[in-house]
Structure 1
Amino acid sequence: MDRQAQKEIKWVQILEVLVAAVVELAAVVAAVVTVVAAAAAAAVVVVVVVVVVVVVVALVAVVTPVAVLAVVIVEVAVIVCSSRSSSSSSSNSSSSSSSSSSSSISSSSSYCC
C-alpha cells in the first residue's frame, strides 16, 4: 500500500472514533436531560404540595381565631342578655305598682335579644 492510502485509512479510523465519541456523548446528554426533567417534574409536584399545605395552614391560622372570637362574642352576648333579662324580671316583679319604672325596665330589656 502506498502512503496516501494509509493516511486515508488513518483519517477514516480517526473519524470513526470521533463519531462514536459524539454518539456516546449525545447518549449521556440525553440521559442527563431525562434525569433533570424527571427531577424538575418531581420538584414541581413537591412545590405544589408545599403551596397547598401552606395555604391550608394559613387558612386555619386565620379562620381559627375568627371562629374563637365569634364564639366568645356570642357567649358574652348570651351572658349579658341572660343577666339583663333576669335583672329586669326581678325588678319588674318588685316594682309592678310603679308605671314609670316598669316602662324604663321594658325599654332597657329591648336592647338585648
Structure 2
Amino acid sequence: MRRKKSKSIIIIGVILIVSIAFVGSRYVHFESIVKTESEKPKIEILNITNYTQERFVKIYVPAVDNEGRGVATVLKVGIKPGSGKVLVDINNILFWLDTQQSIQTA
C-alpha cells in the first residue's frame, strides 16, 4: 500500500513538472545585442517554441525627458494572426500627447 502511494506521488510530480515546463516553454524569449561590421548594434531575438505564431520586435525610440535631456526608450511592436484590427496596449502606454514633439526634438 505504501509503495502504491509513493509511486502515485512520483507520477503526479512528474506530470506536474512536465506540464509546467510545457506551459513555461511558450514564454521562453532570449534577446541579445550583437555588434555588426557596420558598428551599429543589432538586436537578435530568439523565440523558442512559439505556438501562437506571434512575432515581436523591440526598437529604441529617441525621446526627451521632462528636463530636456535626450533618452532612448523601448518600443515593442507585435503581430499575430487575427482579424486585421490594430490594437494598442494602454497599460504600458508610451505615446502621450507630447510624444511626437519629443521625437522631433530628439
**Structures share a fold, TM > 0.5?**
no
TM-score normalized with structure 1 length? 0.31
Q: Whose helix fraction is larger, Structure 1's or Structure 2's?
A: 1
TM-score normalized with structure 2 length? 0.32
Instruction: Select the structure with the greater relative contact order (CA < 8 A; seq sep ≥ 6).
Output: 2
Q: Whose strand fraction is larger, Structure 1's or Structure 2's?
A: 2
